Amino acid sequence: MNIYRAKFTAVCPNNKKIILYTLEITTDQKIMVEEIMEACLKISCGYHEDIAESLYASFGSKQVLTATHHGVQIETRRGFD
């Protein structure tokens, strides 16, 4: 099993504040680090849940995306069905 963790920022579309995200991908496959970073860098603005869907569409596997928005921590999980 491989676990990839990355941090990136994106702008909140509501108030234009910069939000720090932490992505964790768990998979039996190999993912190039450059692909993960490229996908994260393409995300400049968006709602947390939409960002999670975009990353899940790119990599599948099991993913957890966390961030704190206005004092509320949000954690989305994809691929755990």
Describe the crossing of helices 48-59 and 33-42 by its angle, rounded to 10 degrees. 150
Instruction: From residue 39, give the alpha-carbon distance in Å to each of 15, 31, 70.
Output: 23, 12, 25
pLDDT of residue 37: 97
For residues 32 and 71, give the distance between their C-alpha atoms in angstroms, rounded to a whole number.
Answer: 33
> Mean pLDDT of successive 10-residue segments in the chain (81 residues)?
98 95 98 97 96 97 96 96 84
Tokens read off for 50: 């939409």
pLDDT of residue 80: 95
pLDDT of residue 40: 96
pLDDT of residue 81: 84
Q: Which residues in 1-81 belong to E strands, given as ranges?
A: 2-11, 18-27, 62-69, 72-78
Beta bridge partners, 19, equal 10
pLDDT of residue 70: 86
pLDDT of residue 1: 96
